[in-house]
Homo-oligomer: A and B are copies of this chain.
Amino acid sequence: MKTLTNETLDQVAVFLKSMAETTRLKILRSLHDGEKTVSEIMEESEANQSNVSKHLALLTAAHIVTFRKNGTSVYYKISDPNITDICDTVCRSIAERIRQERVMLKNIQKGVAL
């Protein structure tokens, strides 16, 4: 990481921004178990048609998902498997933080009990 150029950091920022949004993460979660149509994604992500379409366009531009058309439907799927790794790492970090907060809370409670 120390050696990354400014230009590369810009690309990293663009990539992370494309993931760093609740509705898009819901869409990605919905796509995690395979290809889905826009309608299916709408249901599972609980977002409206216009909104889902726009987020899918953004994720496509970011090379995170791809699509194929069939009839009037469009099937999207995750094309970048690294997404999952990144989510997992972030989750580990969050989980660890919560764990540490619990420890701190316990220590405070001990103090109060004395």
Binding site for B on A (CB under 8 A): 1-2, 4, 6, 8-13, 15-17, 19-22, 25-26, 28-29, 32-33, 63, 80, 82-94, 97
Contacts and interface: CB of A to CB of B under 8 A. Distances in A.
A10 to B, nearest CB: 6
Contacts of A2: 29, 32-33
Copies of the chain in the assembly: 2
Contacts of A93: 15, 80, 82
Contact of A97 (B63, B87, B91): B63
A84 B4 CA distance: 12
B33 A13 contact: no
* 6 residue pairs, one from A and one from B, having the closest CB atoms: A16-B20, A82-B93, A17-B20, A2-B32, A9-B25, A20-B20
A87 B16 CA distance: 9
Contact of A82 (B11, B13, B90): B90
A91 to B, nearest CB: 7
A29 B95 CA distance: 24
Contact of A29 (B1, B19, B26, B85): B1
A8 B89 contact: no
